[in-house]
Each structure stands twice: as structure tokens, then as C-alpha cells.
Amino acid sequence: MDIRSYNRDAWNKQVESGENRWTQPVSHEIIEKARQGEFSILLTENIPVPHRWFPPLKGADVLCLASGGGQQGPVLAALGANVTVFDNSPGQLKQDQLVAEREALVLRTVEGDAADLSTFADESFDLIFNPVSTAFMADVRAVWRECARVLRRGGVLMTGSMNPIHYIFDLYKADEGVLEVAHPIPYSDLTSIPKEDLDELMEKGLPVEFGHSLTDLLGGQCSAGLMITDLYEDYMMDSPLHNYHPSYIATRTIKP
């Protein structure tokens, strides 16, 4: 199965439906506040990224990685950064183009695979901003290696990841409020659930997900030559798991 092509089409469908919060462009009011230096953007579902995590943004070269949807990229551009939005979904990238045209912002959009940033030269960016998206990528270590390559020395990578514990449960039963341990980690929709469940997921046009280990999510960043300087956890409020454990981990790393 060509995961990249399938998930590209699935996210295009999410844009068309307009129901997924990660596909909904920011408002004019949010951009106006950003122009005045006031901003709040997300790596995970609820908790805004601390302002102290950001390097100086005016004039900074920023890669919004797998970050289409017309949300983070336009805000960072309004703050004065030189923004490139890189995403697997043309539909998501169109949302960024829509906001840029509406607000007279300058930003670049590029379609591609986060595990292959060969279109960018070594040490091209001061900041990489990667909201929760590695759950849709089979090889997260390849993503970290590419991030480390295109970051400048002293550059910052911010990423939101799914906590592996989210995937140990039978997610169908979890929707009914029943938490039943069913899967080992690492997890894959392609191999961890019954074929009939995978067929149903694909018939609905939903993206395929992967539950990566902490060794790959956190240790993989370190192995790529990055240094974790801070992290926080966040909750998936529409999951019963939020009563027991956070489903997200946000990390800040630097390239020494």
C-alpha cells in the first residue's frame, strides 16, 4: 500500500468535509493580532505553545512541516517570519494559500513527504514547526533525520506527537467508553486491527495511523543529533482516555 498517496487523498477529503478542526483556516482577527505581536498556536489539541519556546521570529526562516490547513503558517508569517508550509495534502496547502491571499501575506507552499525534504538544502531553517502529524507517517526516524539536516546550528524543532499509550486500547470500544488493552506498541492500522476494521476505516476515507514508540518519538530525535530542551503533555478531550492519561506529547529540541 502506498501510504503517502492514500493519506494524501484522505486529508484532501478531510478538507472537503470541513469538519476536521486541523483543516479550518484562521480568521482575519487572529492574523491582525499576530501582526501586533499577539499569537497563540498549537502543536497539540488544547495547550498553546509557550512563547518562550520560540526563537526571534522576525526575519526567521520557518518550515511548517506537515502543517497545512491555514493555521500555523499564516500566523507565523504575520509575525514576520519567512514561512514555507510543507504538507502531503494539496487540499491542506490550499487553505494556507487562501489565508495568504486574503490577508496579503507572503508564504511559500510545497507538497511532499516529511520523510524526504530533499527539495531543501542543508541548514536552511531556523525553526521547524510540526503539529501532530507523525501519527500518519510510517517512518518517524526518517522525519527526524531530515529535520536535523535542514535545521541550522542552534535551530529549533517543535513537534506534537501522539502518546503511544493512546494506541494500546481497542479504539472502537473506546468510542463506547470502554478502555480495553488490545494492541502492542508500535501500532499500525495496517497490521494491528482486523482486516474488516481496516476496510471500514478506508471506506470512510480516514487517514491511516501509526503509534510510534517513545524510543522512536523521543530517542529518535536525539539519535538524529537533536537535543530535547523541554516538553509538555496534552489531552484528547473527545476520548475517554483523557480521564486517565494525556494522549499528546509536545517537545522542543535544538540542533547544537
Domain locations in the chain as residue ranges: 3-162+211-254
Angle subtended by helix axes 90-103 and 28-35, to nearest 10 = 60
What is the pLDDT at residue 1? 84
pLDDT reading at 185 higher than 90: yes
pLDDT reading at 238 higher than 90: no
**Any idea which residue has 518519538 for its cell?**
217
pLDDT tens-digit series, residues 67-91: 999 999 999 999 999 999 999 999 9
Query: Which cell is 160 given?
Result: 506534537
Show the CA angle centred on residue 13, arms to residues 10 and 16, nearest 5°: 160
Q: Which CATH architecture has domain 3-162+211-254?
A: 3-Layer(aba) Sandwich (3.40)
Phi and psi based region of residue 225 (left: phi greater than 0; alpha: psi -120 to 50; beta: remaining): left
What is the pLDDT at residue 174? 85
